[in-house]
Amino acid sequence: MKIAVLSDTHGLLRPEVMEIVNTCDVILHGGDINTQKIADELSKDKPLYIVRGNNDKEWAEHIPVSLRFELDGIGFYMVHNKKEIPLDLTGVDVVVFGHSHKYLEERKDGRLFLNPGSCGKRRFNQEITMAVLELKGGEIEVQRIDISHTEPAIHAPREKDIRKTVENISKGMKKGETIKYMAEKYGCTLEFTEQVCRIIATHPGVTGEGILNKMEVNRIQNPPCQTSLIDDTIA
């Protein structure tokens, strides 16, 4: 049995991902689907095991937060956030989760812990990944899949500082600070700062998470060589 394992698609189902999914017998999705359309597409021809992520809102109330099930005699547990994995994993051989957008594969206490990463919208410099499990006679083979992409990464602060930087830019806008001043102040390119400001201006009340998600959508939908409205660059 071949199992496609994916997570954090955030409203985008890439053709490359579907090519791999179509070679598998079962699909596991670790949450942050974002739309019912994605769930419907994945479950059209194959069994789909899916859990609700933190970005799956009212439309996903029917989707469970966690799942326990068995495939070919192998016990599975699924939840979106690794922090919500229970201590009692009796009968569980594979734990699948997502949320971080970072691929993780480790074996601990006789169990496989697997985060397939994100194969949806690319967040800055992160890789686009998923996994395929093959169950053979009680053995579990794991194959990491790296998805090629054409959308460029936006030069931005280190990932752990991105949300804080977005918040600071939002505060700077309220103070009337210029894009060039904020870019220099927070160590960003003019392109990054300009995009954040544009989203804040056109989406009043948008959260930091919403800004980052919108930037991902823009990067995927728009050609990579669009010229910024500002020609200056920071040395």
Handedness of CA 131, 16, 20, 58 (dihedral sign): positive
The closest of 19, 70, 34 to 49, measured between CA atoms, is 70
For residue 140, give every residue at least 6 positions away whose Cβ sits within 8 Å of its Cβ, in sequence order, or none.
74, 93, 94, 112, 133, 134
In terms of DSSP H, where are the helices of 22-177?
36-42, 159-175
Q: Residues of 98-115 as b/e, b for ≥16 C-beta within 10 angstroms? A: bbebebeeeeeeebbbbb
What CA–CA distance (Å, rounded) separates 176 from 53? 36
| Domain 2-146, CATH homologous superfamily name and number | Metallo-dependent phosphatases (3.60.21.10)
What CA–CA distance (Å, rounded) separates 222 from 130? 24
What CA–CA distance (Å, rounded) separates 186 from 81? 30
What CA–CA distance (Å, rounded) separates 60 from 160? 28
Q: What is the dihedral of CA 5, 29, 102, 188, to 10 degrees?
A: 140
Spell out the per-residue pLDDT of the chain, length 235, in tens.
Answer: 999 999 999 988 999 999 999 999 999 999 999 999 999 999 999 999 999 999 898 999 999 999 999 999 999 999 999 999 999 999 999 999 999 999 999 999 999 999 999 998 776 567 899 999 999 989 999 999 998 865 555 444 454 567 788 888 988 898 999 998 998 888 888 888 888 998 999 888 888 777 877 776 565 444 333 333 333 332 2
Task: Return the domain boundaries, the chain.
Answer: 2-146, 159-221
